[in-house]
Structure 1
């Protein structure tokens, strides 16, 4: 027993103390060592000499009155946590990470909590698209919607009949199918915090005569096409219906994009180019590849004369791993990357990523899988079993390791 033990106990029990549980980051690993470094030596007098910026040096006096306590070992942290907070349950880390990710990846700095935006489907039917497109788009902008995705698409009769199957027995079903298949439709994914109700309110009644009489400023009243048997605009009638309809119209897939070590200085420019091309970066992380992971990514090249040099290059520095989401993402990315040889790319595809950023066949800036199956396999290797929503978003909500009790530290601040 230390000579100052009784004095220390008297000091700690002589007034109120504030007891805090501290952790750090997502897992809390290393928190005990970090906190011990911050508070400094046990004896405040020693701390003032050896570590004058430490908390005990600043707020303590000696070994008895040293201002703060911190768990010194993992066992002590577990014991103290149980003593002060017997009902405490460590939170779970709500993310999915592969073994490769945990070993050598850095998490994206993107915040995990984002403001929620509801989404809905808006369709501008063919006749209105020909005559009122610009005016309708202006109304959408003025209403504060963000257009998350859009595309013109020509639908087949089977597609339209399936889309509106619940209206099959209605009198307007055949005119509706005829209108929806007479030309391209403009499909919009509209985002707003109350997108479904806001868009339906703007549309007005489904029957044009009712809209013109009861809500003449509604979009269906303002942008009706003469002699048309149906209204010119569609809107999802519920949030669940919106998600279902958006999935039918927008066929989003994922692919893996790897910015190689030779292009990491230009990674921001490359990412801007990818976004300009319509890709969503669903998740990303800087990663120093091991030869094992590089070998998995380039498995199809194994046995080639250049394989060893390629693996050496890919493990020579950090890479940026990204999951990109878009319609036909695999084919689309392969197209904008350009030919493997940057000299050929500069001639045949001067605006491609390799034409702009590559240095040689080996140092050609970016890599991606060549098929959907390969893309899914490589995404799993790098990012684990992460799940994507229909539009490419992911909240990484599947539970994984959790924070261990020994990744907390108990601190006691004596207050007088």
Structure 2
């Protein structure tokens, strides 16, 4: 029996810059389908391409390729676009570009260019002087090349001292403040890659600070560093091509003269680059609160001790995005969609049902504004609850785009027929029944809007060991909380009254005070959407024995001993949380947003 004829690959696969450069060496015409990894090549055109290859390629003058824009520097301008783009390369020069799966136009362009090549080869015509299509200007290309290089990452270690942690300086030092503040690490353009909260041992302090061991006050310094929690931060300066920035006063001689229409001269800001984190900390008068280590050997030592998985963690790009199931899909197929989301490796950090206002619906559906069905879409979007989700995954944005597919059903059927857009299409509207953030910046804005952060007080009681504390803090972070303030304190009766004011007249309150006097407690401000309810759920029932039956994975069930020594405490209401936080931390924190 004759063997089955092996099918020749229709399109060459180009997925990096070197393969692109090699492809440009092709003689004749190469038709290139430029695609995104999340969208895939345009399958709708493959029948046409196969037909043309059979009809026109007897002299091997016609070639087809698919090129992934995400990994090819030259194709950077075509990233984040779902619409198919076809480039036409003649002997290595891009001579034409067609946007969209316009089969008649693509067919005509291929036939015309192939006929030209044949006439040129036969000496019947001179090769035209094509104007090459420029895919990017030189600045863009250079930027792309720079970003594709594997540049060595520079790290520093910052240790925020216990005294600074107790007095609430941590947030001021490492986080963004009001617009215009410049005395903060993040505002200066540095990136906090990892952080840990630890009580340093005497051995660790002597090791880390061995460079100053000969100073007269070193022996007094050691106990100051071991008497409370320190923050250890791994901080990136960015790559050598893009270090952090600082503002300086411009040279008056170089300032531009105001135009006639200017009523007021605005002094331009000149940006210069910070040489190091140490330089920045010293210039901002933060040295008394924060020590910096930039010697790479010492940096690596600290990373190995406190961040043993740092190298593997930094190779994973975790991204948080906002997703939404529109009302019809939420009503009919919610569980099916959620199962697929989790099977695809997404972690659902937060979810809530929400009935959109007309204004909110118009904002989320603005890409359909010019469609005939826009009014029906807005009516549908406001007709019942949608399900809003916050999802986390490595490279989450691109994975979500690829999973759900394009905005319209027609595009999805052409470009990505296996997408959720096609799988969960509804007869009512020809659109994608799932929504996703268009960028990481948009995702953060949407998350802040639909999941406004709320503060609650968290307290870890004295009987909890240091190891158990760290485990509880890990559980808190895994549950999506951000610890925005934290201090270790041996609570006085007056301070305890501020936290337990609701029960201070109860007979058993003296027993509570006795438990709190056994040692220092760790008091925290925990921040996330729905923080109060979520923290109480994570804590579990007040009685650990009851918790072991009703909520065996809760903190109190795991670490509590009895009703009094039940490991943790938390606020019950928004008002209680704000009042307690303000009293304990002595500085007002932003008010909890009203719950939607």
Normalized against structure 1, the TM-score is what? 0.55
Q: Match of 1:78? A: none
Distance 1:385 1:110 in 2: 32
Q: Match of 1:72? A: 215
**Cα deviation 1:106-131 (Å, max 9, x = unaligned):** xxx789x9746332212222333455
Distance 1:262 1:28 in 2: 21
Contact 2:349 2:392 in 1 (8 A): no
Aligned with 1:189: secondary structure? strand
**Cα deviation 1:265-302 (Å, max 9, x = unaligned):** 976786788689x5636368683414154343335555
- The answer to whether structure 1 residue 317 and structure 2 residue 519 are counterparts is yes
Contact 1:176 1:230 in 2 (8 A): no
Q: Match of 2:417? A: 216
Distance 2:422 2:408 in 1: 9
- The answer to whether structure 1 residue 149 and structure 2 residue 349 are counterparts is yes
**Cα deviation 1:9-58 (Å, max 9, x = unaligned):** xxxxxxxxxxxxxx994459999x948x979xxxxxxxxxxxxxxxxxxx
Contact 1:288 1:315 in 2 (8 A): no
CA distance change for structure 1 residues 254 and 74 in 2, over 3 Å: closer, same or farther? same
CA distance change for structure 1 residues 154 and 290 in 2, over 3 Å: closer, same or farther? closer
Give the drift of 1:232: 1.0
Give the drift of 1:132: 5.0
Give the drift of 1:314: 0.8
Range with greater deviation from structure 2 (314-323 or 301-310):
301-310
Give the drift of 1:332: 4.4
* Residue ranges of structure 1 left out of the alignment (5+ in a row): 1-22, 40-68, 76-87, 98-108, 391-416
CA distance change for structure 1 residues 377 and 210 in 2, over 3 Å: closer, same or farther? same
Aligned with 2:575: secondary structure? helix
Distance 2:162 2:569 in 1: 34
CA distance change for structure 1 residues 348 and 155 in 2, over 3 Å: closer, same or farther? same
- The answer to whether structure 1 residue 186 and structure 2 residue 376 are counterparts is no
Asked which structure has the greater RCO (Cα within 8 Å, sep 6+), the reply is 1
CA distance change for structure 1 residues 110 and 233 in 2, over 3 Å: closer, same or farther? same
Distance 1:211 1:370 in 2: 47
Contact 1:261 1:314 in 2 (8 A): yes
Q: Match of 1:91? A: 281
Give the drift of 1:257: 1.9
Q: Match of 1:59? A: none
Q: Match of 1:204? A: 405
CA distance change for structure 1 residues 360 and 228 in 2, over 3 Å: closer, same or farther? same
1:5-16 correspondence runs (5 A): none
CA distance change for structure 1 residues 354 and 70 in 2, over 3 Å: closer, same or farther? closer
Contact 1:258 1:366 in 2 (8 A): yes
* Residue ranges of structure 2 left out of the alignment (5+ in a row): 1-156, 164-201, 219-277, 291-305
**Cα deviation 1:189-247 (Å, max 9, x = unaligned):** 23345433443344333221122123323332333123434321111223332222222
Aligned-pair Cα RMSD in Å: 5.1
